[in-house]
Amino acid sequence: MQEGVTKRKFGTAPVFFTAISTILGAVLFLRFGYAVGSLGFWGVILIIILGHLVTIPTAFAISELATNKRVEGGGEYFIISRSFGLNIGATIGMALFFSQAISVAFYVIAFTEAFEPVFNWVLSTYDLTLPRQVISVPAMLILSFLILKKGANLGVKVLYFVVAILFVSLVLFFLGDTAHASVSNFSLFNAEFRNTDQFFVVFAIVFPAFTGITAGVGLSGDLKNPAKSIPWGTTAATFIGMIIYVLVIYKLAQYASVQDLLDHQLIMSQIALGGAIFIPLGLAASTISSALGSVMVAPRTLQALSVDKSLPSLALNRWLAKGREKDGEPINASLVTCIIAMFFVFLGDINAVAGIISMFFMVTYGALCLISFLNHFGSSPSYRPSFKSKWYLSILGFIVSVIVMFKISTPYALLAIALMILTYLYINSYHKDRHGLASIFLNSLYQLNRNVQVFLQKAGKKRVQEWRPSAICISKDSFERDTAFKLLNWIAYKYGFGTYLHRIEGYYSKATHEQAKQELDLLVRRSENLENHVFVDTIISPSYTSAIAQAIQLPGVAGMENNMVIFEFDKDRIETLDEILENYALANAGDFDFCVLASSNRRFNTNFDIHIWIKPSDADNANLMILLSFIIAGHPDWKKSDIKIFNICKAFQAEEVRASLDEMIASGRMPIRRTNVQVLIEQENVAPKDMINEKSENAGLTLIGFRGDIIKHEGAETFKGYDNLGHILFVNANSKKEIE
């Protein structure tokens, strides 16, 4: 047999009996009487309704997921890991495995309660208080021997036997009578709901009764037809269990007094025919069947985790993934499960651990419901389950799971979440190659993005939008220098949006298409090392003009229209500027702000200041440059820099210009100190370029405005003569921006 491969030998019955025996388990016999005594009939009915708001959507979600694609070994883990990705799946899977393993101990310890008459007899006869381990440890040893020696095949056979005993004990309970029943005036119309303030305290005690619905799913790797057996077995067990719960509650409320319900843990034995024998026998049957179910399922979860190499040791993964030669039983994983269970059986009291168990189960149920909802929302064509739930049931199950977690115990909920976060970070540390969104997230994001884009388009037509940059940058030199990408990333970090297009020169063909895919993959991988906020793509075009014409018609990445085009050239290769300027009219026709980044051979020194130069001709450009500098300075790279404004004007305008700048900075709440604003007087023999070269030689980035009509007369000369400066962003605003 191959590692992790088991013989598929079971039908629907094992799924049903594993689930129903866990649902009708220890809590039903030991805690339902107390619950009815504390809250009254309607209080416990409300508990059942609330519990099934989790379990029914979960049962439907599992049924739906199981009928879409074949569920391999690992049951719930397999579904979660193949939906959320292996790292998230492994995180939840490990929590699920430990919950299942510790549940074995929980049920074995509960099994000892069936021997309460024996313990009482020893105490009264010999004045000796026996520890519960006298029964629980041998029981765990026998259970371990059977599961290790015979495997799930024997477990299923024993399961049929113990479920038959459980069925007989419940029938005798319903046939029983008491003296209290003859004087009771209980009916549905006068039934009580009392002690409402204790509702969630009692709910926490009773909730483990609802954790059995997915017990049979763990046998998925052993099922002949999981797509049939899981939906039928799980759904039938859920609804039959709910009906039996209601009938048991009704019987308890009618046939026992409130005081008896509170005082006697095994009150069912005082009601049932032959209750002194058959109710402890039924309790023993229910707990041992639940323990059998858990001890069959937990190793299969651990084996599936190991097959996916989720544990940090490759040797350990291989050992745990190995199945027994003759029947594929996960013998090594079963051994580990039994050792963990035996440890907690020795401890004897696992009430504290039981709280964490419930939280991990709730996380699993919530995850399954969320997967179902995301599949509905994502609307992937490949999601075609033959059993169909409703999206609103799935999201209801997820929401109720989260609420119930915190209602049961906020400290335990927070502790469980913290443990899972730490586990996820640890798994990520040794499985870095498994990063990335699973398809279920991508499909949902695609749908969400589509709906948001349509909404924003409609909303944008109905109201005037405040300005923010939505920039598009086109460059064929992406692999030579990254200055344009960095600039766009600073703009898109917090306040703006950016689309970076790498231009591939040529006609669209199979060869250029393959080249585009390879270069895009390289660009995306390169940007993963940065805190990237830019959408990256490629564009294939034979000319710069056609590339720009295509690019400026693209929709904005955020749903709003692009309003800015950024071009880039190397200051040492000024001849490349010509083809940019040739397309100024094209961009201007689309009402785009036109920016040209002159890249220096110096690296960006973001510890130095950002300088803005405003000339008399920059009436429209000034506010855009100030806004852009504020947006760029908002990136953490520029946290040590200041914004400085230099305004060149005539002498008689100086006071007015100064007052105007002070008012704009104050009213616009710009983080620019008054001392960083300088008004410079025009000098006859000193050109503005000389002043800029002198003042901004050490600037981290310099912003300079230009007018479109100047390009027509001076062309590339407009951008020359700044030899002392580092990187320069030349800005031409299509219209004046308001600083509010």
Residue 96 resides in a domain: yes
- Rounded CA gap, 323 and 679, in Å? 81
Q: Return the pLDDT at 730.
A: 95
483's CB contacts (< 8 A; 6+ apart) are: 568, 597, 599, 604, 727
- Spatial separation of the C-alpha atoms in residues 650 and 688, rounded to whole Å: 12
Does residue 2 lie within any of the structural domains? no
Are residues 480 and 526 located together in one domain of the fold?
yes
What is the total count of domains within the chain? 2
The count of C-alpha atoms lying within 13 angstroms of the C-alpha of 284, restricted to the half-sphere facing its C-beta, is: 17
Nearest alpha-carbon partner for 300 in 482, 72, 477: 72
Note the pLDDT of residue 72. Answer: 67
Q: Residue 518's Cα: distance from chain center in Å?
A: 30
pLDDT band at 632 (very low <50, low <70, confident <90, very high): very high
Neighbours of 343 (CB within 10 A): 13
430 and 483 housed in the same domain: no
* pLDDT of 625: 92
What tokens does 305 get?
């985790």
Question: Mean of the pLDDT values across residues 603-632?
Answer: 90
Residue 451 or 655, more confident = 655
DSSP string, 469-520: -EEEEEES-TTT--HHHHHHHHHHTTT-EEEEEEEEES---HHHHHHHHHHH
**Which range, of 75-84, 116-125, 687-696, averages the lowest pLDDT?**
75-84
Q: How does pLDDT run across 12-32, given as a tens digit for each residue?
A: 777 787 778 778 877 888 889
Considering the domain architecture, whether residues 411 and 510 belong to the same structural domain is answered as no
Domain boundary among 417, 434, 451: 434
Q: Last residue of some domain: 385, 419, 434?
A: 434
At 6 the pLDDT is 47
Domain shared by 368 and 509, yes or no: no
Higher pLDDT, 453 or 596: 596
Is residue 534 situated within a structural domain?
yes
Closest CA to 146 of 344, 286, 303, 329: 329
Looking at the structure, tell me whether residues 468 and 423 fall in a common domain. no
Please give the pLDDT value at position 5: 45
- 3 belongs to a structural domain: no
398 and 505 share a domain?
no
Comparing 124-133, 144-153, 179-188, 560-569, the range with the smallest average pLDDT is: 144-153
Q: What is the DSSP string of 42-60?
A: HHHHHHHHHHHHHHHHHHH
User: Which is more confident, 97 or 230?
Assistant: 97
pLDDT at position 71 is 65
For the ranges 71-75, 334-338, 401-405, the lowest mean pLDDT is seen at: 71-75
Q: What is the pLDDT of residue 1?
A: 41
Whose structure tokens read 């030899």? 723
In which band, very low, low, confident or very high, does the pLDDT at 3 lie, cut at 50, 70 and 90? very low
Domain shared by 421 and 468, yes or no = no
The whole-number average pLDDT for the span 52-72 is 79
Q: Phi and psi for 119 in degrees, rounded to 5? A: -60, -40
Residue 396 has pLDDT above 90, yes or no: yes
- To the question of pTM greater than 0.75 for the whole model, the response is no
Instruction: Show which of 418, 434, 450 is a domain's final residue.
Output: 434
**Do residue 405 and residue 500 come from a single domain?**
no
Q: Which domain CATH number covers 667?
A: 3.40.50.12370
Lowest mean pLDDT among 187-191, 204-208, 383-387, 599-603: 383-387
Tell me the C-alpha distance between 728 and 708, whole Å. 17
360-373: pLDDT as tens digits: 888 888 888 888 88
Give the separation between CA 28 and CA 47, rounded to whole angstroms.
13
Q: The domain that contains 313 carries what CATH number?
A: 1.20.1740.10
Residue 457 lies in a domain: no
Closest CA to 214 of 155, 294, 126: 294
pLDDT of residue 488: 92
Say what the pLDDT of residue 77 is.
79
On whether both 408 and 544 belong to a single domain, the answer is no
Range of the domain at 34: 12-434
Residues 266, 364, single domain; the answer is yes
User: Would 83 be classed as within a structural domain?
Assistant: yes
Q: Decide which of 383 and 580 is more confident.
A: 580
648 lies in the same domain as 576: yes
Residue 333 shares a structural domain with residue 208: yes
pLDDT of residue 701: 94
Instruction: Please indicate, yes or no, if residue 524 is contained in any of the structural domains.
Output: yes
What interhelical angle do 439-462 and 76-84 show, nearest 10? 50
Does 443 map to a domain? no
Among 143, 132, 161, residue whose Cα is nearest residue 291: 143
pLDDT bracket for residue 610 (50, 70, 90): very high
Least confident piece of the model among 59-73, 98-112, 625-639? 59-73
- Name the average pLDDT for the chain: 83
pLDDT at 97 over 60: yes
Quick: pLDDT tens for 145-196.
Answer: 877 776 655 556 677 787 888 889 999 999 998 888 888 888 888 888 998 8
Tell which wins on pLDDT, 450 or 90.
90
Instruction: Assess whether pLDDT exceeds 50 at residue 422.
Output: yes
Does residue 245 surpass a pLDDT of 50?
A: yes
Q: What is the pLDDT of residues 299-326, one digit of tens each?
A: 888 988 998 888 888 888 899 888 877 7
What confidence score (pLDDT) does residue 321 get? 87
